Structure 1
Amino acid sequence: MRLKPDTSGSVVYKPFNEADDFTDGWWDDAIYGFEPTQRFYSFFVGQHEVARVEIEVQDVLNSEYDQPAHPGPYAVIHFFEVSEDHRRKGYGTKSVHLIADRYKAMPLVAFSEGADDFWGSLGWARHEHKTEPDHSRPMYVSEPR
C-alpha cells in the first residue's frame, strides 16, 4: 500500500478524480473549497485508490470538547473514507498508520460520523462535546508516535 503524494511534500488538491465508490460531494471543491493549510492524500494498492483523507494541522482544538492531555499542534482529519469496494479489509487502519507516520510526534484527531467502532478500534481516546454530548459527533484523539 502506498500514499500519494509521496514524501517530496507535493500536495494533491481537490477535487479528486470522480469515483463511484467514494461519497459524492465529500471530495468536491465546488461545495467545500479548501484552505492552503489543508492537505489531501490518496492511498493506493496497485493502481486502485482505496482511501482518501483531508487533514489540517491546527494548534488548538474545538474548545467545546474535552481536551486531550497532549498539547498541539494536532493533525485534524476532516474527511476520511475507504472506497466501498475496499471496506472491511484493513485498508482504513493501514491508511491511518501511514498518515500517523507522516505526522510523527503529532496526535491525530477525527470527529466520528457513525464510525465510532473504527476510531475506537485504533485505541484512540474518545472525547465528548462538553454541553451537547448526545447531539454532537465524538472527537477521537490518537497518542503521538
Structure 2
Amino acid sequence: MSNAFRELLKKVGSGVHTGKALTREEATTATRLMLTQEATPAQIGAFMIAHRIKRPTSEELAGMLDAYDQLGPRLHPWDINHGQDTSRSVSSSPSLGVTALGTPYDGRSRTAPVTPLTALVLATAGVPVVMHGGDCMPTKYG
C-alpha cells in the first residue's frame, strides 16, 4: 500500500463538495504510482471512481499526460511519402504522426458523433488515421 498515493486519494476522494483538485505535479505522481503499480488495485479503483465523480481539471489531465509521456513508449512519426519526392504530396510535411481517434468511453451520449467524419477529412488530407471503438453497442450501455 502506497502512503503517498493514500494522501492523493484523500485529497480527491473526500466527497463531491469537499474533494480538491490535484496540482499538475500531484496528478503526475498519482498516475505514475498507478502505472508502476506502487498503488494497490483497491487504491487505484477508489481513485478512478472518486476522480470521475469529482470531474478532472485541465491541470490534472495535463499532469496525467506528463506521466504517460515519461513512462510510455516513444512513438516515431511515420514517413507517409516513404522517402519519395514530396513535391506532389498533399502534406507539406514529409513525416506526420498517426492520429488515433476513438469513441468516448466516458458514458456521455449527448455529443455529436464527429469521429468518423473527422477521420475521413484527415485521411483525405493524407494524414494517417487509426480508429478504435465498439461496433455492437454504444459504450454507455456496454
- Structure with bigger strand share is 1
TM-score (norm 2): 0.29
TM-score (norm 1): 0.29
